Chains A and B, each alone.
Chain A
Amino acid sequence: MTPAIKVWSLHLLVLALLFAAQFVLPPYHATNLARIMVLAVFAMGYNIAFGYTGLLSLGHALFFAAGMYAMGLSAWHLDAQAWPALIAGLIAGGAIAGAVGLLALRAVGVSFMIVTLMFAQAGYLTLLYLNSWTGGDEGFVIAQNARVLSGFDMATDTPRFVAAFVLFAVGLLACLWLVRSPFGRVMIAMRENEERSRMLGYSPFHVKLTALVLSGVYAGAAGAAYGMLFGYVGATFATIQYSILPMLYVLLGGAGTVLGPFLGALIMFYLIDITSAYTDAYFFVVGAALVGLVLFAPQGILGALRERVLKWLP
């Protein structure tokens, strides 16, 4: 088997297993899996910026929330239908990421992290400040008629799972295609050695900005889908915690691997789900996982696997 066939068949196999999972899993876990797939799309977006291009952002909650609020607010104030509202979310995520990138990419390393953190914080505070428009801290519920996508009601289990699956599948395959494309190689070159890539004639600023916008589109799509599938939009989704979560998923699953974000989201979600049966110390699990990963396994699960066994893993 050539590597290309191995790679595509592995990813299609994962997708087939996920699709089949809805017929096997009890409803509670099927809904969890739908949630995980949407969060994994968010993490895949984070991975495009952090894992492949080396942009360590602490502000992705802003892009997630931009998508979610663009969807929710257009449904609430403009009575938008489901498809236009979703598209608005996707565009908002990319546009905000582009605007932040134009400024933040002038800073590097730690400064970049803090600038993105500050923009995200300003965005969160703005949501609270404009509470007559955004519902502030309490958020708002998406009206039933805005949750009907091509005739399927997202408030019911099966259409919700299928919608989450379709979003995830498109995101995964697009990501796989992207990182194997020539542009994907340039992204990785930026991560590995920016100066040398510049010397070879690539513009770091344009490559990074494009990666960040793509990352924002993923985050915006995930945010819009999350709001629509689960029916609620709130300022909690704009807090720093939602910038940390995708980072945690990506670190756990393996930064710079296509399936890593999903694997990380899956494990972390169930880790929290299972431990919360014994203790409500949810944040302790998150914090300890983060410290442990940074200390002992900075490559994550699939990163370590790729280094030792599966050298062809994208």
Chain B
Amino acid sequence: MSFGPFLLLAVLEGTVMAAVLALTAVGLSLVFGVMRVVNVAHGEFYMLGAVLAWFVTYYLPFPPLLAWMAALIIAPVLVAAVAALTDVLVLKRLKYNPEATIMATIGLLYMLQQAALTVYGPDARPVVAPFEWRIQLPWFGYSGYKLFVVVAAILVLMAVWWVMTRTKAGLIMRATQVDRDTAQTFGINVNRVYAGTFAFGGALAAVAAVLIVPIQQAHYLMGHDPLLLSFIVVIIGGLGSIRGTLVAAVIIGLSDGIISMFFSPTLAKIIATLLVALVLVFRPQGLFGAKA
């Protein structure tokens, strides 16, 4: 393959990556924005979504399309329930102290990982794609499902944007984000908002995982990379800023796809992690974020 088509392939792969990353990172960003909690277990919610999707599609006697759609509903709902439970049982009792919640979510990360290893096992297992459709380009064929993932991710992100800016639930979340105490005096049940936000963030990670799992197999350690990349995206985009997160997801996703294809994926990750550390040190509000 000559350079042009090769670059096109890299851009396509990067776009798929960016789309899924944006979904995962928006969940993390939302939780940080509203609750000021850095959820280290966010990658495990993603993993849990993928593993649950495997269980649903494997055990439900439906054709692939129907089974996958069932997974798209069941997995996020279950993950959201786990997240809400975590909020009520652990985070609320820690009074959302930033450092204590980081330590607690690290503990949760280990527990979820181990639970997946014990119940699901150490193997990576594929989920059958809901449909087989290949787009034949002049140079190579490309999976139509991957393009569907991009479209679906954009639709979900637009829905998130609509919820946050146009609905009462979004208004309540934003009010709590701006000033928790005033929101409470106006009769907003802040505890419920927090549990709901944490569940919503987890559900977004699970949706991203169900979208990606027909392309990447479900594995109990698969949460590690998305967590790291979401961190990178959220920090570069500005902690808590959704718009910044989206811009950063596109940049990081695309450049990760391209650098990984032409150089080494390890090198791409080294550069990205160092970039994050330096951004946090010298521009804590993020490259695109407004003032913190």
Contact = CB atoms under 8 A, between A and B. Distances in A.
B44 to A, nearest CB: 10
Contacts of A126: 270
A287 interface: yes
A119 B277 contact: yes
Main secondary structure of the interface of B (DSSP, over half): helix
A287 B108 CA distance: 6
A103 B281 contact: yes
16 contacts: A56-B99, A58-B102, A104-B277, A109-B98, A109-B99, A111-B284, A114-B235, A115-B281, A129-B270, A281-B117, A286-B107, A287-B107, A287-B111, A290-B103, A291-B90, A291-B111
Nearest to A106: B281
A107 B98 CA distance: 14
B100 interface: yes
A118 B111 contact: no
B98 A295 contact: no
A170 B43 CA distance: 41
Interface residue tally on B, bucketed by range:
35 or more
A119 B281 CA distance: 12
Interface residues of A, number: 37
Contacts of B189: none
Interface of B: 38, 90, 93-94, 98-100, 102-104, 106-115, 117-118, 228, 231, 235, 264, 266-267, 269-270, 273-274, 276-278, 280-282, 284
Contact of B104 (A107, A244, A294): A294
B281 A284 contact: no
Interface of A: 56, 58, 103-104, 106-107, 109-111, 113-115, 118-119, 121-122, 125-126, 128-129, 244, 247, 251, 281-284, 286-292, 294-295, 298
Contacts of B280: 107, 111, 114-115, 118
B228 A288 contact: no
Query: 8 closest A-B pairs (Cβ-Cβ)?
Result: A287-B110, A290-B107, A287-B111, A291-B107, A284-B114, A283-B114, A118-B277, A122-B273
A290 B118 contact: no
A129 B259 CA distance: 14
A283 B284 contact: no
